[in-house]
Chains A and B, each alone.
Chain A
Amino acid sequence: MLKGNVVVIEDDEITGILIKRIFEREFKFNFVLFRNGLEGLEYIQNNSPSLIILDIMLPGKNGFEILKELRESEAHKNTKIILLSAKSNSSDIERGFDLSADEYITKPFQQQEFVVRIRKLMRAS
Chain B
Amino acid sequence: MYLSLTYQTVLLLLMLLLTTFLYLLVYTFWTRAKKKYWSRYKVKFRAMFMPLILDYIETANRQSDADDVIKKLTRRNEDIVLFLEILDEITEILNGDDRKKLNWLIKHALFDRFYRKKLYSNSVNAQLLACVYYSKSGYLNRKMTVRLISLISSRNTKVAYASAKVLQNSTNEYIRLNTLKSFFKRPDASSMMIGELLHLFHQNADKIYQMSGILLKQLLLQKDIPKDRKQLVIDYIAYHNLYEYSLFLRNYLQTVLYRFENKSLIVSLINALGELRVKEAGTLIRSYSTIQNAEIRICCVEALNQLGGSDNLSFITGMLLDIEFDVRKRIIQTLVQDPDNGHLLLEKFMLTYLKFVSKVWTSELPPNDMLVFINKLRSITTGIRITSANKALHFNPVQK
| In the complex, per-residue mask of A98-114: 1 if CB is within 8 Å of any chain B CB, else 0 | 00000000011111110
Q: Does A2 contact B (CB under 8 A)?
A: no
Residues in A neighbouring B91, C-beta threshold 8 A? 108
A14 touches B96 (CB 8 A): no
List 18 additional contacts besides A14-B93, A112-B96; criterion CB under 8 Å. Answer: A12-B93, A14-B86, A18-B93, A18-B94, A21-B54, A25-B58, A86-B92, A108-B91, A108-B94, A109-B94, A109-B95, A110-B94, A110-B96, A110-B97, A110-B98, A111-B57, A112-B97, A113-B96
Total A-B residue pairs with C-beta atoms closer than 8 Å?
A: 38
Query: Chain B's nearest CB lies how many Å from the CB of A81?
Result: 20
Interface residues of B (CB under 8 A from A): 50, 54, 57-58, 86, 89-99
In the complex, chain A residues whose CB is within 8 Å of the CB of B94: 18, 108-111
List, in ascending order, chain B residues with CB within 8 A of A15's CB. Answer: 93
Q: Complex formed: what's the CA distance from A46 to B86 in Å?
A: 35
B93 pairs with A107, CB closer than 8 A: yes
Residues of chain B contacted by A109 (CB below 8 angstroms): 93-95
Nearest neighbor of A108 in chain B, beta-carbon distance: B95
Q: Are B96 and A17 in contact (CB under 8 A)?
A: no
Query: Interface on chain B toward A: helix, strand, loop, or mixed SS?
Result: helix
Determine the distance from Cα of A86 to Cα of B93 in the docked complex, in whole angstroms. 8
Taking a contact as CB atoms under 8 Å apart, the answer to whether A14 and B98 are in contact is: no
Complex CA–CA separation, A41 to B63 (angstroms): 43
CB distance from A22 to the nearest CB of B (A): 10
Name A residues whose Cβ lies closer than 8 Å to a Cβ of B: 12, 14-15, 17-18, 21, 25, 86, 107-113
State the CA gap A87–B93 with chains docked (Å).
12
- How far is the CB of B195 from the nearest CB of chain A, in Å? 18
Kindly state the separation between the CA atoms of A113 and B96 in the bound complex, as whole angstroms. 10
The interface residues of chain A lying within 8 Å CB-to-CB of B58 are 25
Q: How far apart sit A86 and B58, CA to CA, in the bound complex (Å)?
A: 22
Closest to B86 in A: A14
Nearest neighbor of B90 in chain A, beta-carbon distance: A14
22 A-B pairs whose Cβ atoms sit less than 8 Å apart in the complex: A14-B90, A14-B93, A15-B93, A17-B50, A17-B54, A18-B54, A18-B93, A18-B94, A21-B54, A107-B92, A108-B91, A108-B94, A108-B95, A108-B99, A109-B93, A109-B94, A109-B95, A110-B95, A110-B96, A110-B98, A112-B96, A112-B97
Q: Within the assembled complex, what's the spacing in Å between the Cα atoms of A12 and B99? A: 18
Instruction: Specify which of A17, A21, A108 lies most central, judged by the most chain B CB atoms within 10 Å of its CB.
Output: A108
Of all chain B residues, which has the CB nearest A113? Answer: B96
CB distance from B252 to the nearest CB of A (A): 32
Closest to A110 in B: B96
Residues on A with beta carbons closer than 8 Å to the beta carbon of B98: 110-111
Within the complex, what minimum Cβ distance (angstroms) separates A118 from chain B? 16
Residue of A nearest to B53 (CB): A14
* Bound Cα distance A21, B95 (Å): 16
Closest to A86 in B: B92
Q: How far is the CB of A87 from chain B (nearest CB, A)?
A: 13
Which residues on the A side are within 8 Å of B99 (C-beta)?
A: 108
Residues of A within 8 A of B97 (CB): 110, 112
In angstroms, Cα B98 to Cα A65, docked, is 32
CB of B384, distance to nearest CB on chain A (Å): 34
